[in-house]
Amino acid sequence: MRVRIILPVVALVFFFCSGFLFPWIMEVPESLELSAGRQTNEVKMGVRNLWGGTPLWGKPQVIASDEELISLKWDGDSLLVASRFLEGRGWLEVRAFPLRRHIAVTVEPDTTDSDGDGFPDVVKLRQESDRVAFRKRFVDIAIAQLERKSPSWRDQDCSGLVRFAYREALKTPDVEWFQQIDAPVTQTDRVSAYRYPRIPLLGERLFRVRPGHFSPERVEEDFSVFASAFYLFSYNVVPLQKGEREAKPGDLLFFYHPYTADFPYHVMIYTGAGEVVYHTGPTEEGAGKISRSTLHDLARHRDPRWRPIAGNRAFLGFFRWKLLT
């Protein structure tokens, strides 16, 4: 009698445990391939037990090895795996007790240069929030050097100030960053698309130094960590047709003085509200200094070659970073 009772009870307990508590079979793909630039792949996650039931605790846990490479979002029973802008390899770890699976993820680079300006589309800041954040940080970092020069700013001349502020504006602020750069920025003032030095396709080589369309095979030849004012002017910016009327904070002004053979090109940063900040570059008195001025005052500069006006042939105009176009 007892055996007749015990056997069904044991069978029911076994059925309950194996059928509802333990997912023995996990159906997931072995690998995924995406293209950089926010392509999304829908992945069906099949987790079932011996009797076809699903785990009591719902969806399996999924962890991405590199959140800068891919992002995850559940949509019902499907997992949406989206690429960001970086290229590379990573993996997903899927956990559903007592099983664990890895999915290899490959994000192929997007080398499209749709406007032919020499910069790949994935480098451009397409979201307005990113463009606003970059402009603010770029300007704030440059202005902050007036009060206290950052120890990480080494090339102290006009293009050096621009390169330094540009590079730092693409970083994610942390404690060490704030210790190096005393600028009025916060964690929310950051570019979300990517962060230096992990720039799509370019890495640390932020500045173009040769003409032509973008080619992934020529990144080391066409791009560099260093760019003089000439290279900044020639390959990294586009002119603003309406000049000051079209200018926004973070845009640049360029001058050309052919009589100074060593440094014929000069650059200033437009900070908004009719003001600019710039490094004078080496002078007869020494290494030069950072200055802040208004366009109104510069238009009356004692040396007419430094006046940002249409009648000055040495003034090349207002320009915008290709990163923002």
- Tell me the CATH number at 93: 2.60.40.1080
The domain boundary, picked from 85, 108, 131, lies at 108
Considering the domain architecture, whether residues 162 and 270 belong to the same structural domain is answered as yes
What is the structure's pLDDT at 185? 67
Tell me: pLDDT of 76 over 90.
Answer: no
Helix H or strand E segment including 67: none
pTM: 0.87
Tell me: pLDDT of 262 over 90.
Answer: no
Query: Which is more confidently placed, 245 or 18?
Result: 245
pLDDT in tens, 162-220: 999 999 999 988 767 776 777 776 666 789 999 999 999 999 999 999 999 999 999 99
pLDDT in tens, 109-125: 999 999 999 999 999 99
Among the listed residues 237, 243, 236, the one whose alpha carbon sits nearest the alpha carbon of residue 315: 243
The domain boundary, picked from 55, 75, 108, lies at 108
The domain boundary, picked from 108, 132, 152, lies at 108
Considering the domain architecture, whether residues 88 and 127 belong to the same structural domain is answered as no
Residue 94 lies in a domain: yes
Read out DSSP for 231-287? HHHHHSEEE-TTGGGG--TT-EEEEE-TT-SS--EEEEEEEETTEEEEE--SBTTBS
What is the structure's pLDDT at 143? 96
Considering the domain architecture, whether residues 70 and 139 belong to the same structural domain is answered as no
pLDDT band, very low/low/confident/very high, at 86 (cuts 50, 70, 90):
very high
Considering the domain architecture, whether residues 285 and 152 belong to the same structural domain is answered as yes
pLDDT in tens, 189-201: 789 999 999 999 9
Segment among 18-32, 202-216, 286-300 with least mean pLDDT: 18-32
Considering the domain architecture, whether residues 183 and 315 belong to the same structural domain is answered as yes
Considering the domain architecture, whether residues 131 and 152 belong to the same structural domain is answered as yes
Read out DSSP for 165-179? HHHHHTSPP-HHHHH
Segment among 147-151, 227-231, 312-316 with least mean pLDDT: 147-151
Residue 267 lies in a domain: yes
- In the block, residue with structure tokens 């369309």: 213
What is the structure's pLDDT at 89? 97
Tell me: pLDDT of 281 over 70.
Answer: yes
Considering the domain architecture, whether residues 228 and 93 belong to the same structural domain is answered as no
What is the structure's pLDDT at 239? 98
Considering the domain architecture, whether residues 155 and 44 belong to the same structural domain is answered as no
Residue 167 lies in a domain: yes
The overall average pLDDT reported for the chain is 89
Residue 297 lies in a domain: yes
Residue 21 lies in a domain: no
Considering the domain architecture, whether residues 159 and 252 belong to the same structural domain is answered as yes
Q: How far is the C-alpha of 222 from the C-alpha of 159, rounded, in Å?
A: 18
Tell me: pLDDT of 44 over 90.
Answer: no
What is the structure's pLDDT at 230? 97
Segment among 8-17, 36-45, 300-309, 310-319 with least mean pLDDT: 8-17
Considering the domain architecture, whether residues 88 and 226 belong to the same structural domain is answered as no
Domain that holds residue 177: 121-324
215: alpha, beta or left? (left if phi > 0; alpha if psi -120 to 50): beta
Considering the domain architecture, whether residues 182 and 79 belong to the same structural domain is answered as no
pLDDT band, very low/low/confident/very high, at 56 (cuts 50, 70, 90):
low
pLDDT in tens, 237-255: 999 999 999 999 999 999 9
Count: domains in the chain? 2
Residue 4 lies in a domain: no
Residue 6 lies in a domain: no
Considering the domain architecture, whether residues 45 and 146 belong to the same structural domain is answered as no
pLDDT band, very low/low/confident/very high, at 12 (cuts 50, 70, 90):
low
What is the structure's pLDDT at 295? 97
